[in-house]
Structure 1
Amino acid sequence: MTDNRTDPPFVADEGPMLHSWLDWQRETLAVKCARLSQDQLRLRSAEPSTMSLLGLVRHMTDVERYWFRNVLTGENTPGIYWTDRHPDGEFDLVDTASAEEAFARWQAEIANARELSSGLPLDLVGKGLRGGEEVSLRWILIHMTNEYARHNGHADLIRERIDGATGE
């Protein structure tokens, strides 16, 4: 796998450090998906799971959208890949999904998240609620880093199953 990630700084203020770690985790998912065909990206991990690399990208697109648009800014944006009828649509409905479209939407949501959170104080409380609770930007950045890290572990196993490639 080609790995062009930028390592987070060893010493930095808290805001740049948190944003750098989140970007590193975002880039890690991209590395896990690099140079694979659409069919390989759709390959499921192991039954009964419907998890695939494409599904993970679609899931993280909706996660980026939810936390930065809905919780941080108070928008009321619906999920892109899941619906009430298909609550796990990001994973279950990949058989005919376009990888190109999914990656473009994911990158667009990442760019939007960066724009929405850039320069804001970490203690800023979002305009939306999560389970009735207020959430700070600091919490969102830590949660997003954790969400990516957890799913990057899944991605590592799926990628190894596809072509034997492993990596950090």
Structure 2
Amino acid sequence: MTFRNPVRRVGAPGVAGEREALTAWLAWHRATLLTKLDGLADEPLRRAVLPTGLSLLGIVRHLAQVEQGWFALGFAGIDEPVVFGESDDEDESFRVGPEETTDEIVGTYLRMCERSREIVAAAESLDIAVPDERRGKVDLRWILIHMIEETARHNGHADVIRELVDGTVGD
């Protein structure tokens, strides 16, 4: 089966309030990630073309956990198991198991993104801060900026992987 991106990319507005601008840029980068998968069958989505073993589907899997970690678990304080399970291995979130399907991984990513959007929309202010192990505290604004950076960085990885998989380039 060939993957078809279910999300339409919409550019961020040139003039907007802070929350609208941050959420629009994050939405654009989320949708951009899924465009990197568009038109590929399961094997190329799983194919590791870099020495680290990184794959396109592995990036999506990782970012599903990152979305849940920052927004649901970290900011909203929802007590639930980590999607795809917990591990002491920092790179585990990038590894796609043979039993995991593209639909499952992408579906989980889309659900985590939707819930993140809901959490951000429900937050009274971007100034709300939560405890953070490394920084002491982070506010919702920091989390949004970090998620834009995290997703954009992995989109760069996805660009390179996609070009190595089938020669497709683009933003």
What TM-score do the two structures reach when normalised by structure 1? 0.90
- Matching residue's letter, 2:144: L
RMSD (Å) for aligned C-alpha atoms: 2.0
Q: For 1:134, what is the secondary structure of its paired residue? A: strand
Off by >6 Å, runs of 4+ in structure 1: none
- Matching residue's letter, 2:106: F
Distance 2:126 2:94 in 1: 32
User: In the alignment, what sits opposite 1:135?
Assistant: 138
Q: How far off its partner does 1:89 sit?
A: 2.5
- Matching residue's letter, 1:23: A
Distance 1:98 1:158 in 2: 19
Q: How far off its partner does 1:125 sit?
A: 1.3
The counterpart of 2:102, out of the listed 99, 105, 111, is: 99
Q: How far off its partner does 1:156 sit?
A: 0.2
The counterpart of 2:47, out of the listed 43, 59, 68, is: 43
Distance 2:63 2:127 in 1: 24
Q: Which moved more, 1:144-153 or 1:1-10?
A: 1-10
Distance 2:156 2:141 in 1: 23
Aligned residues: 166
User: In the alignment, what sits opposite 1:64?
Assistant: 67
Q: How far off its partner does 1:85 sit?
A: 5.6
Gaps of 5+ in 2: none
Q: Decide whether the 8 Å contact of 1:52 with 1:158 is kept in 2.
A: yes
Counterparts in 2 of 1:117 and 1:163: CA distance versus 1, 3 Å: same
Q: Decide whether the 8 Å contact of 2:65 with 2:83 is kept in 1.
A: yes
Counterparts in 2 of 1:112 and 1:73: CA distance versus 1, 3 Å: same
User: In the alignment, what sits opposite 1:158?
Assistant: 161
- Matching residue's letter, 1:7: G
Distance 1:153 1:118 in 2: 28
User: In the alignment, what sits opposite 1:109?
Assistant: 112
Higher share of residues assigned strand: 2
Distance 2:19 2:168 in 1: 33
Distance 1:17 1:86 in 2: 34
Q: Decide whether the 8 Å contact of 1:42 with 1:94 is kept in 2.
A: no
User: In the alignment, what sits opposite 2:121?
Assistant: 118
Q: How far off its partner does 1:133 sit?
A: 1.4
Q: Decide whether the 8 Å contact of 1:60 with 1:106 is kept in 2.
A: yes
Gaps of 5+ in 1: none
- Matching residue's letter, 2:17: D
Q: How far off its partner does 1:46 sit?
A: 1.5
Q: How far off its partner does 1:149 sit?
A: 0.7
Distance 1:119 1:16 in 2: 13
What percentage of residue pairs aligned between the two structures are identical? 36
Distance 2:88 2:21 in 1: 39
Distance 2:50 2:85 in 1: 21
Q: Which moved more, 1:36-45 or 1:17-26?
A: 36-45
